[in-house]
Amino acid sequence: MKRNLLTIITGAVLLVIFILLLFTFQVRQSEVAVVTLFGRPVRSEKDPGLKFRFPWPVHSVHKFDQRIQNFEDKWDEVQTSDSYIVVAGVYVGWRISDPQAFLPRFANGSIPEAERVLEGLIRSAKAAVIGKHPLSDLVTTDERQLKFAEIEAKILELVQAQVQSKNYGLELKYLGFKKLEFPASVSQEVFKRMQSERALLISQTQSEGESVASNIVTTANAKSAEKIYNAEAEATQIRALGIKESAASFAVFQKNPELAKFLANLKALELSLGEHSTLIFDQYNEPFTLFQNYTTNSVPRK
């Protein structure tokens, strides 16, 4: 009896599991699922968890990775606006944005088929955008002339517009150059052009340096001349003031020669004396004649 009960319970559990497998499916965190009714998409499930469905062939479930897919196109030769040939390859990040539109567009949602279509769109966009730019926008010795970001953004914009207009159910998240080189037939010519640009840049830099140096020398000379002129003008004023004062003093001394003599002797005596000086002098010689009236034991001059 116990063995029959165990068999019944086991059978019931297996039946429940079988029914769950027929009528439910699971969506993972990184997935998005499309449910079709007799092959026609009817709904998409983006939230993770257990979902309901009817058994095949009523309902079919197609699951897709909703994370960003990385893709690199083939390297193609494209021509610039100034007739140079370059070999360009790009990398692309894309994801499924509308799984219900994506599923019927690409053979039951084939990722390789979607990337094959993207490759054709990217090839056309590369040729169209690069064909409007000269080689100097891609390869130059002056980084300020490079337009990589602008060209990448324009290619991404063109491809995105075509994807949306054709309702492919996907979107591009980023695009950038993976490789950019030249065929052997044009490499030497490009190198010569780069050398020419570098020589021109060196010449311009030297010319700018010489111009700046010339301006510095000119400014320095002008300031020096101005300072010399101001110094000479100040010296002239000082000399004129000295001459004026000396003329006034000379007029006074002309009226009183003894005063002039006295002041001259006094000045000479001042210059002779210093700190802790000891003088041995003759009071009858200038300027020590000033002491004649102050000596106590004077000796008459013979």
* Token pair listed for 70: 């990385």
Extract the residue ranges of the chain whose pLDDT is less than 70. Answer: 1-3, 15-22, 141, 184-199, 249-256, 258-261, 263-302
Q: What is the pTM of this model?
A: 0.55
Regarding whether 182 and 74 lie in a shared domain, the answer is yes
Regarding whether 105 and 148 lie in a shared domain, the answer is yes
CB-facing half-sphere around the CA of 286: CA atoms within 13 A = 8
Four-residue CA torsion sign, 256, 258, 261, 265:
negative
Structural domains of the chain, count: 3
pLDDT tens, 205-260? 888 888 888 888 888 888 888 888 888 888 888 888 877 777 776 666 666 676 66
Residue 122 lies in a domain: yes
Angstrom distance (rounded) from CA 189 to CA 77:
17
pLDDT tens, 164-194? 999 999 999 999 998 888 776 655 655 566 6
Domain interval for residue 54: 2-65
Q: How many CB atoms lie within 10 A of CB 198?
A: 13
Regarding whether 109 and 26 lie in a shared domain, the answer is no
Domain edge (last residue) among 190, 215, 239: 190
Domain edge (last residue) among 145, 171, 190: 190
Angstrom distance (rounded) from CA 139 to CA 201:
15
